[in-house]
Amino acid sequence: MDVEALQREALAAVAAASSVDEIDVVRVDYLGRKSALKLALREVRDRETGIALNAARVTIEQAVESRTAELERAELDRRLTGEQVDVTLPVDAYRRGRLHLITQIRREVEDVFLGLGYRVVDGREVETTRYNFDGLNFPAGHPARSPLHSLFLDEQRVLRTETSPSQVRTMEAEQPPIYMVSLGRVYRRDTPDATHSPIFHQVEGLAVDEGITLGDLTGTLDFLLRALFGADRGTEFRTHYFPFTEPSIEAYVSCHVCDGAGCTVCRHSGWIEVGGAGMVDPAVFEFVGYDPERYTGFAFGWGLERIAMLRHEFPDLRELWRNDLRFTRQF
């Protein structure tokens, strides 16, 4: 075998290799286990040939090694310049999640009342007729007691039709003074349409103390209405009826769309009805064992969906349940 010729050929191949991949091929061809050089080394019989072959091997190995290092450095340089990241380029805005509008309003209302020194108490969605009706002074035969209007689980248990049972539970468990709000889902046997849903949310409020008056109630609701609908809103209260309050009132806020001039949102009255309220009926105090001669109190119960619709002027509350992001992202 012509060792010199082989070495020349190998060095030429090394010099010609222009990438790390190519020099790898050269390495295998000239130094690999099946290369002519390695085969010859295995067969060698005399000292001279051994020395010559090993000298060639060392020369080729060194050439491969230094060429490999050179090519690796070149490739790294190319990548470092080619794959630059420009950290100053604008990126796509990261889309953050948000709270559902009803959750936002729920928290807003809670904040308003925490600021006034009220507590937030939990109620139960599965109630007994005792708390949902009896304690709230609903007479026998009241339509709300009928399975046509309310969702009963059995004779005694019903999905609460309002958050008002939380009043009875709170008063039964503690003595005045009581200042609490309770927010959550309520259930009624309604067919869904633009303004009805079998599940919706209410905020219940209750204040019981010595000397609480109707003026305290209207002042508190006034404060809440302005917090929800804007400081420049007018408020109005009209008489109404609920079994568990006497007198009962309904709260109105001046129409935020026409500012009282009359439009379709307020049905040309200039006023929008927000929800019910009243002074706690003495019959309720008697049910929970409070002395109605000593204590007076007020309560209110408003729908959060209704607040959302009025405030944001969308015509169909079913949007709140559809979870179409084009809708929910607006708030």
Residue 211 burial class via C-beta count within 10 angstroms: exposed 0-12, middle 13-18, buried 19 and up:
exposed
Member of 132, 164, 220, 235 binding ligand PHE (CB under 6 A): 164
Stretch that binds ligand PHE, among 45-53, 75-83, 211-219, 241-249 (CB under 6 A): 241-249
39-68 footprint of ligand PHE as x/- string (CB under 6 A)? ------------------------------
Number of residues that bind ligand PHE (CB under 6 A): 11
When binding is defined by CB under 6 A, the residue of 187, 242, 252, 290 that contacts ligand PHE is: 242
Structure-token pair, residue 143 = 């339509």
CB of 300 to ligand PHE, least distance (A): 5
249-278 residues in contact with ligand PHE (CB under 6 A) are: 276-278
- For the bound state, the minimum distance from the C-beta of residue 228 to ligand PHE, rounded and expressed in Å, comes to 16
135 lies in the binding site for ligand PHE (CB under 6 A): no
Q: For 2-40, b where at least 16 C-beta lie within 10 A, e where not — what string?
A: ebeebbeebbebbeebeeeeebeebbeebeeeebebeeb
Please identify which residue in 132, 300, 304, 305 interacts with ligand PHE, judged by CB under 6 A. 300
Select 197 or 248, whichever has its Cβ closest to ligand PHE.
248
Enclosing H/E stretch for 233: none
Please name which of 308, 101, 317, 309 lies closest in space to residue 190, comparing C-alpha atoms: 317
**Smallest separation (angstroms) from ligand PHE to the CB of 242:** 4
Do 305 and 317 form a contact (C-beta atoms < 8 A)? yes
Eight-class DSSP state of 125:
S
d(CA 315, CA 331): 15
Comparison of 40 and 277: residue with beta carbon closer to ligand PHE: 277
- 158, 255, 284, 299: residue in contact with ligand PHE (rule CB under 6 A): 299
Assess contact for 170 and 108: CB atoms under 8 A. no
Per rule CB under 6 A, is residue 301 in the interface with ligand PHE?
yes
Q: Please check whether residue 13 is in contact with residue 32, taking contact to mean a CB–CB distance below 8 angstroms.
A: no
What does the alpha-carbon distance between residue 329 and residue 331 come to, in Å, rounded to a whole number? 5
Closest CB to ligand PHE among residues 60, 109: 109
The footprint of ligand PHE (CB under 6 A) covers 162, 164, 242, 245, 248, 276-278, 299-301
